[in-house]
């Protein structure tokens, strides 16, 4: 059963993005994640909730920058689709393109942080935080390209190795309740929770959430219909080509399915099965 809007926690991508559209909430969360003070954050709200015109994609993430000209991308992940590394690469490239104006030197690129908050352990080591930087494979020294990718795990177990604020926040992501906030007595989490509570009580935000859910369902339904149509076309082509005995292999062999879709030119440019 779907949760009511008032019952959502921050693992919900819509509520997460709505909360971080507020610059002060975003600043507090970045301070907790990165472990250093940030004086001011500007959130690019126009990038945080992007619906494509044909409903083929719905993105919910946050772009922000601070007074020191550092760029941040923050995204909530509930399911491990096995593509976090490539998603991180894409987000970093996207930030770089947006940051560098025509005619500027590459040295003008600001530092960039890509942050994924995962409701699962992305690397299976039980850590609350995994931080990646580019380094020399032979000598181990950093490239100093100004980029970091941070993967957070709400199911971490190494409480003694990370700041208490981070542990409290990651637990709060999956338990965004008055009771939890009262139990931990953390002032920064309380401020974040005030924003979350305000959103849950807002009729306007609830209306936007219902619209988002409607768009999401339309996107999923359209995707299923397109996939069914494509598979019927593929089967028709294979039957006409005398490949009837190979039809059963489509279900059990993803590589074979990919090859057949390519053979009959049924793949979109962005498809990756």
Q: Is residue 26 part of a domain?
A: yes
Residue 208 within a domain: no
Residues 186 and 234 both lie in one domain: no
Half-sphere exposure of 37 (CA within 13 A, CB side): 1
Q: Same domain, yes or no, for 130 and 14?
A: yes
Verify that 181 and 235 share a domain, yes or no. Answer: no
- Asked if the structure places residue 268 within a domain, the reply is no
Could you read off the pLDDT of 71-86 as tens digits, one per residue? Answer: 999 999 999 988 899 9
pLDDT for residue 141 is more than 90:
yes
Measured between its terminal Cα atoms, the distance across the chain in Å is 29
Quote the pTM value: 0.76
User: How many independent structural domains does the chain possess?
Assistant: 2
Give the pLDDT score at 54: 40
Which of 201, 228, 246 terminates a domain? The answer is 201
Q: Name every residue whose Cβ is closer than 8 Å to that of residue 193 and which is 6 or more positions away in sequence.
A: 172, 176, 178, 181
Specify if 215 maps to a domain: no
pLDDT in tens, 214-238: 877 776 666 666 777 788 788 888 8
User: Do residues 40 and 172 share a domain?
Assistant: yes
Q: Is residue 272 part of a domain?
A: no
Residues 244 and 181 in one domain: no
Is 46 a residue whose pLDDT tops 70? Answer: no
User: Does residue 210 fall inside a structural domain?
Assistant: no
């Amino acid at each position: 059963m779907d949760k009511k809007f008032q019952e959502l926690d921050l693992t919900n991508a819509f509520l997460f993005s709505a909360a971080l559209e507020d610059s002060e909430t975003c600043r507090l969360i970045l301070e907790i994640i990165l472990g250093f003070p940030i004086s001011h954050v500007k959130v690019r709200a126009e990038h945080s909730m992007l619906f494509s015109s044909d409903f083929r994609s719905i993105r919910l993430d946050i772009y922000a920058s601070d007074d020191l000209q550092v760029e941040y991308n923050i995204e909530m992940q509930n399911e491990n689709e096995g593509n976090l590394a490539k998603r991180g690469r894409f987000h970093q490239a996207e930030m770089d393109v947006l940051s560098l104006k025509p005619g500027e030197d590459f040295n003008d690129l600001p530092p960039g942080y890509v942050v994924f908050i995962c409701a699962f352990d992305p690397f299976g080591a039980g850590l609350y935080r995994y931080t990646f930087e580019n380094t020399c494979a032979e000598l181990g020294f950093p490239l100093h390209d100004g980029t970091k990718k941070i993967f957070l795990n709400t199911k971490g177990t190494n409480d003694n190795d990370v700041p208490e604020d981070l542990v409290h926040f990651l637990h709060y992501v999956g338990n965004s309740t008055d009771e939890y906030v009262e139990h931990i007595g953390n002032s920064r989490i309380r401020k974040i929770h005030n924003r979350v509570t305000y959103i849950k009580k807002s009729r306007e935000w609830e209306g936007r959430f219902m619209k988002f859910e409607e768009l999401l369902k339309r996107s999923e339904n359209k995707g299923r219909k397109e996939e069914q149509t494509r598979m019927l076309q593929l089967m028709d082509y294979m039957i006409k080509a005398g490949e009837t005995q190979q039809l059963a292999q489509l279900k059990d062999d993803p590589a074979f399915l990919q090859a057949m879709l390519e053979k009959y030119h049924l793949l979109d440019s962005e498809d990756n099965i």
